[in-house]
Amino acid sequence: MTTATLSAGTASSSGPRRSARVLPGFNITLGFTVLYLSLIVLIPLSALLLKTFTLTWPQFWEAVTAPRVLASYRLTFGASFIAACVNAVFGLLVAWVLVRYSFPGKKIVDALVDLPFALPTAVAGISLTALLAGNGWIGQFFEPHGIQLAFNPNGVVIALIFIGLPFVVRTVQPVLEDVEKELEEAATCLGATRWQTFSRVIFPTIAPALLTGFAMAFARAIGEYGSVIFIAGNMPMISEITPLIIIGKLEQYDYAGATAVATVMLVISFILLLVINGLQAWQRKRSAGNSQ
């Protein structure tokens, strides 16, 4: 009787543990994870760095600090940052409307948010060019006033806003759906204004998700190529993005120079994402401290 009881207890205690392990053990799972990341991420990046190391330091410095390359850095990172900031503001508004309001055609609007995900980037670039060029449907109204929306840095920013908006909306939207409305009602009952309720109750909750959406939109914009080259004009020192510089060097069989410029972009992007992740961690700790 005692043996049967112990056996039953052992089976009942070990049963949930075994059933909870759907995937193989930690060692096997970790091995597959490292192998997959190595094949997809680490090996290509290692090849990039190894090709760059074929250059001497003066050659590397000359390749990455040429005036044309520096101008492309300023445009690429500057336009990406502006586009990400715009998307952070208007993406939050779009997510707010989709979560908090009901209106005719809501599902259509919700589906249109994902259009930049499904639309080929080249098609997006051609469409934006047709709309914003001097003889386009929208550009023709701005051209007489001296405002040129296409074939200059303005077109680059607009294209990056277009492809980056879904990242912010889809990151913030589920967090807004999980925000407890009782907290807003309690703040209202305590005499808080709408702005105080948003800034002190809602925004601290959605801030980490908003920063994540900003980082994703920023990272996506840095590497964008297809939708930009059609609307940028690709004028050296004015509207030439860094990915186009890399493509140009590859077409000239300057592989080491192309990987050198790509390495600089990789390092800068990694540093920026590291800073943003640090801000997210700080924001989460701050929100947790305020909730306690």
Residue 55: CA atoms inside 13 Å, Cβ hemisphere, count? 21
Q: Which residue has the tokens 């592989």?
A: 255
Quote the distance between the C-alpha of residue 196 and its chain's center. 29
First to last CA, the chain: 50
Q: Is the pLDDT of residue 240 over 70?
A: yes
Q: Check pLDDT > 80 for residue 172.
A: yes
Inter-CA distances, 289 with 183, 284, 286, Å: 17, 9, 5
Topology of domain 57-291, CATH: MetI-like fold (1.10.3720)
Domain limits of the chain? Answer: 57-291
Q: Is the pLDDT at 281 greater than 90, yes or no?
A: no
Residue-level pLDDT at 4: 47
Taking residues 10-14, what's their average pLDDT? 48
Q: In the numeric block, which tokens belong to residue 13?
A: 């205690």
User: Residue 1 pLDDT more than 60?
Assistant: no
For the segment 134-149, what is each residue's pLDDT rounded down to a tens digit?
888 898 888 888 888 8
CA distances (Å), origin 239, targets 83, 146, 150, 226: 15, 18, 10, 14
Residue 25 in tokens: 């053990």
Residue 15 confidence (pLDDT) above 60: no
Q: Is the dihedral of CA 99, 100, 102, 104 positive or negative?
A: negative
**Cβ 256 vs Cβ 54: under 8 Å:** yes
Which residues neighbour 97 within 8 Å (Cβ) at sequence distance 6 or greater? none
Q: Which has more pLDDT, 142 or 27?
A: 142
Using 50, 70 and 90 to split pLDDT, how confident is the model at 8? very low
Q: Which of 38-47, 85-94, 116-125, 169-178 has the highest mean pLDDT?
A: 85-94
User: Is pLDDT at 7 greater than 70 in this prediction?
Assistant: no
* Contact present, 194 and 95 (Cβ < 8 Å): no
Q: What is the mean pLDDT of the chain?
A: 84
Per-residue pLDDT tens over the stretch 35-65: 888 888 888 888 888 888 888 899 999 999 9
Q: How many helices (H) and strands (E) does the chain have?
A: 16, 0
CB 159 within 8 A of CB 227: yes
Tell me, what's the pLDDT at 53? Answer: 86
User: Do residues 261 and 69 make contact, with C-beta atoms less than 8 angstroms apart?
Assistant: yes
Beta-carbon count within 10 A of 265 CB: 20
